[in-house]
Amino acid sequence: MMGPAHSLSGAMVWLGIGAAAAAADNPMPWPVLVVGTLICAGAALAPDLDHKSATISRAFGPASKLLAGVIDKLSESVYNATRGKGERRRTGGHRTLTHTWIWAVLVGAGFSLAAIAWGRWAVLVTLFIHVVLAVEGLLWRMARVSSDVLVWLLGATSAWLLAAVLDEPGNGSNWLFENEPYMWLGVPIVIGSIVHTIGDSLTVSGCPMLWPLPIAGRRWYPLGTPSFMRFRAGAWVENKVLMPVFMVIGAASGIGAVVLAA
């Protein structure tokens, strides 16, 4: 999938979780629903940091491009060091390490631990990164014609305001983990990354999300739907079918979460 579809699917899933929680009589505070949706939408772009042309690799200028190069080499090295006997060596690490569920959990845990260790500043950085990515993904047409600086300013301002809202009593800073404020921030990051891998499993290349579990004698087995159901990233089925479906389900879920929580 391409960036916009990944972000929309991430937002849809978090709004769906919010609706399910409200239906189970345990609704999220509304700031958690909003912030979680933005983080999940942004995190749904993150696995493509192993590709220098991806949205996330361009989102933060030279810094993200440099990081993308490092992640690409790391992913390539891990793949070649752990590949099965029937798997060829690779040059380039796209759709390997960062497209696994282990990576998703580690990254989410890292952000949660950072929030615990460094408090508000780690929260602000986490929100800034993921709001910028959410803007790049969800508002891709407007983001493309805007300067990077304007998107960064929007991300920084939004992060500051959202953190202030969450800090208010009852607004969700300690949602899910009562004794550890903001530990929950890693949850939408994990979910967004996993949603990305599921989306990529619908394409012709599949996705090795369950590495290092051996499947059919391969460590990096590209899981996916049956071949006749797969499509190429950016194909009409993604733009004309899946993205409208993600929008409708996400909007209905968001409305449901708010109405059921009232």
| CB atoms inside a 10 Å sphere around CB 215 | 14
What is the residue type of 177? Answer: F
Per DSSP, the residues of 192-239 read: HHHHHHHHHTTBTT-B-TTTTS-BTTBSS--B-S-GGG-B-TT-HIII
Domain boundaries, position 9: 2-46+101-261
Q: How many structural domains compose the chain?
A: 1
- 52 in any annotated domain: no
Tokens of residue 67, six digits:
């990081």
- 220 in any annotated domain: yes
- 113 in any annotated domain: yes
- 151 in any annotated domain: yes
- 96 in any annotated domain: no
pLDDT of the chain along its 262 residues, tens only? 788 899 999 999 999 999 999 999 989 999 999 999 999 999 999 999 999 888 899 999 999 999 999 999 999 999 999 998 889 999 999 999 999 999 999 999 999 999 999 999 999 999 999 999 999 998 866 655 567 888 999 999 999 999 999 999 989 999 988 889 999 999 999 999 999 999 999 998 899 999 999 998 899 999 998 888 888 877 888 888 999 999 999 999 999 999 988 7
pLDDT for 146 equals 62
**Is the Cα dihedral 82, 6, 165, 61 positive or negative?**
positive
- 66 in any annotated domain: no
- 248 in any annotated domain: yes
- 74 in any annotated domain: no
The CA-atom distances, in angstroms, between 175 and each of 5, 44, 69, 182, 253 are 28, 22, 36, 8, 20
The whole-model pTM stands at 0.94
Rounded Cα–Cα distance for residues 95 and 222 (Å) = 9
